[in-house]
Structure 1
């Protein structure tokens, strides 16, 4: 087995059946696994998955306060922009293109810290990064932690059921995980601490970072627009935190081949380019699977890429020291120019004039 074959904690129903095909668990099996892995009283090593969903639970009353107490058209617009555009684009900038694929580099740790904390903290880097490496290595195959062929719940609850790192790694494999996270600046456990907590992230440091992030941004939002804006945007963050868990199911055709000739150019997996995720978050998913290490995935003129605009702006300002842009390669390899009509010269021989 390769490192990526064993780096994630296999669910109780497994990745493959006896014939090597994807196990498609029933909804009951998925939900049972979900609550089993959330139970911190059964196993304290479940703490990170529990924390991830507890954040959503804590943010839910904020959404209700917005709807039933502070609702206004202005706040609705603010909630839409923050959840659909700001958080979505930040997820692409930070978790996707930097933490996972290292598509660009920061000039120094200050700009990395600023970019990391542009929004309130919702997704722990560990849950996203390690599993996303596996996703690209095994896209739409058994072992892909959010394989759309497994169904909606298989993807929606993947952050608990399929994405946590394995808890029985030896020190060599654990150190390989550490290397995948080192550039993110996230402080990780020693191997002894990993054996105790089952994670790269340290519980105390993780909780402190969440409290500081939420406290800072609640104060900023309050100073700008009072409790109304603060609860609205925190509620919007919770809404996004649930919605983003549906993306890979949609982004891989809901388990069907929905790729379109001339729109999707990567035919190695079922990823598709979708207009809405592309516009609001720069997530042109088929383009991304074609060139995962590119800091830009909106290659065509109509493919708005807000994440790329941020990275490019930071580069102009000197905050980003280098980046990879595969736009020219994309056009050279996948957009064939229409050849000009070849004119074949015709020789006309002169003959005797006739009347």
Structure 2
């Protein structure tokens, strides 16, 4: 059995039916599974999914304080830019192109850690990267952890119900899973620790990283607000952390939208990959460099904005770090895309 066939913890309703078709559970089944996966009293192995959603809830008071106490239009613009552009682009740079696809190589740990913590941390590397390998191997097929053909809630709650790693891996398979995360700086548990916690990363390390990241950025934004925005320290903190809540909710909708809401919505001359339902979209493309159909064609590329109008801010950051010496090597599949798909299509039309 291929590793990606059993690398993730299967939901109680399973991945596919007797005919090999995706199991698309009812909303009741999905929410039941979601609550079960968050219950740390039921199993300590639920700690990562519980922490992920508890972390999200911790951001909500900041958003409410901003709306009802500190609201100002200029700050709203700041929050919009921070969440939609900075956090969106960072998600593509770090979790997508590096942690999952290793599309570029850092010179040393300094540049890696700097990039990892460029923004407020709201996503765990383990939950994102391992499951994203499976997504590419089984895109829109049974076993895809966020299979858009199974509906919005199947995708939106996927980080809890479909993305955690399998808790019953053999020692050899566990080592293979740990190897998928080694380059990202995740220090893997021993096999005995994995059997206890059900995860590659240890809760103490994850919690410490979370606390240090939030403490650092909270202090930075408070000082900027106090001395740069006329004593608006708490206002800026609430604005930025509140906007992080909006982004973290919004990113959970992306794969449903990015795969045409489970429908075939390819646009001729825009979406060249026809092997799955992925599509290129203007909004995530411009604000986060996420030209998703292009990415599914060349997942290992540090650039996915291949056409002239396809701005790729994530690639701009990677390219800048390369010029500064922080990135020693990166993959760029633009020439291959143009030769293999775009120019060949233009020639065939002539």
> TM-score range with shorter-chain normalisation?
over 0.9
Match of 1:345 in 2: none
- Equivalent positions of 1:52-63 (< 5 A) are 52-63=52-63
Match of 1:185 in 2: 185
Match of 2:128 in 1: 128
Instruction: Give 1:339 shift.
Output: 5.5
SS at match of 2:264: coil
Change (3 A) 1:140 1:227: same
- Equivalent positions of 1:317-328 (< 5 A) are 317-328=324-335
Aligned residues between the structures: 342
Change (3 A) 1:25 1:339: closer
Q: Distance in 1 between matches of 2:119 and 2:147?
A: 28
Match of 2:113 in 1: 113
Q: Deviations over 1:143-166 (max 9, x none)?
A: 000000010000000000000000
Note the aligned Cα RMSD (angstroms): 1.3
Match of 1:257 in 2: 264
Q: Distance in 2 between matches of 1:310 and 1:30?
A: 38
Of the three residues 284, 294, 301, the one matched with 2:301 is: 294
Q: Distance in 2 between matches of 1:261 and 1:102?
A: 30
Match of 1:96 in 2: 96
Q: Distance in 2 between matches of 1:200 and 1:120?
A: 22
Structure 2: give runs of 5+ residues left out of the alignment: 226-232
Match of 1:304 in 2: 311
Q: Distance in 2 between matches of 1:160 and 1:335?
A: 38
Q: Deviations over 1:297-316 (max 9, x none)?
A: 00111101000000000001
Match of 2:229 in 1: none
Matched, 1:75 2:75: yes
Matched, 1:236 2:277: no
Q: Deviations over 1:304-348 (max 9, x none)?
A: 1000000000001111000000000010011126569x9xxxxxx
Q: Distance in 2 between matches of 1:90 and 1:339?
A: 37
- Equivalent positions of 1:4-83 (< 5 A) are 4-83=4-83
Q: Distance in 2 between matches of 1:172 and 1:314?
A: 36
Q: Distance in 2 between matches of 1:84 and 1:96?
A: 16
Q: Distance in 2 between matches of 1:97 and 1:184?
A: 11
Could you tell me the TM-score, scaled by structure 1's length?
0.95
Q: Deviations over 1:167-209 (max 9, x none)?
A: 0001000000111000001122111100000001101111111
SS at match of 2:286: helix
Instruction: Give 1:120 shift.
Output: 1.2
Which sits farther off after the overlay, 329-338 or 237-246?
A: 329-338
Stretches (4+) displaced over 3 A: 337-340
SS at match of 1:105: strand
Q: Distance in 2 between matches of 1:80 and 1:331?
A: 34
Report the structure number with the largest CA radius of gyration. 1
SS at match of 2:252: helix
Instruction: Give 1:239 shift.
Output: 1.1
